[in-house]
Homo-oligomer: A and B are copies of this chain.
Amino acid sequence: MNKSQIKTKLTQHGHRPTASRLEVVDALLTYHGHMTADDLFEKMRDGGSNVGRMTVFRTLDLLAEIGVVRPTYGGSGAAHFVLLEDGHHHHLVCMRCSTTVEFAECSFADELSQQLANQFKFRIEGHMLEIYGVCESCQ
C-alpha cells in the first residue's frame, strides 16, 4: 500500500487527506510501522515536522479505522502500529524479549474468509497472523 492508495482510501471514507495526515503517512511508510504513536511523533519532530502529537494519535486511529494500520501490544505499555500492506501482516514475535520479525508467507484461505463473513455477517478487510515463540538468543 503506497501513499496515493492510502490517500484515496481516506477520501473514500469521507476523510480529508490533509497535509498533516499525509506527513504521518509518509513517516509510517519511511519507518515501516512497528512503532508507538509517540515514537512516530518524535521521529517526525526530529525530522523537522510541525505536526502535533494529538494529530499523530488521531491520524493513527483514523488509519486503523480504515484498515491501513493495526495497533498491537508489544508488552511495552504502549500500542505499536503495524502497516497492513495489502490488508494483511504476518510476524513472529518472541515471548520473552518481544523481538519481532516479519514474513510474507500466508496460509489464510479465501474460503475461511468467506465462511466467516457469512457466519458472522462481517465485511472482512484484512488480517494479522501473529506467531509466538522464543527467539534464538532467548532460548
Instruction: Show the binding face of A for B, using Cβ within 8 Å.
Output: 61, 64-67, 70-73, 75, 79, 84, 87, 92, 94-96, 101, 103, 105, 107-109, 112-113, 115-117, 119-136, 139
Number of copies: 2
The one of B73, B125, B139 that contacts A72, using a Cβ cutoff of 8 Å: B73
For the complex, would chain A's binding face be called helix, strand, loop or mixed by DSSP majority? mixed
Given contacts A130-B127, A133-B125, contact A116 B95 (CB under 8 A): no
CB pair B124–A132 under 8 Å, yes or no, is yes
Cα–Cα distance between A61 and B67 once the two chains are bound (Å) = 29
| A94 & B122 in contact (Cβ 8 Å cutoff) | yes
User: B residues within 8 A CB of A67?
Assistant: 95, 132
Q: Given A120-B135, A120-B136, 20 more contacts at CB 8 Å?
A: A64-B75, A64-B95, A67-B95, A67-B132, A70-B130, A71-B75, A73-B79, A87-B132, A92-B116, A92-B120, A107-B107, A107-B109, A108-B129, A116-B131, A122-B134, A122-B135, A126-B131, A129-B129, A129-B130, A130-B130
CB-nearest residue of chain B relative to A109? Answer: B107
A133 touches B122 (CB 8 A): yes
Q: Which residue of B lies closest to A131 (CB)?
A: B127
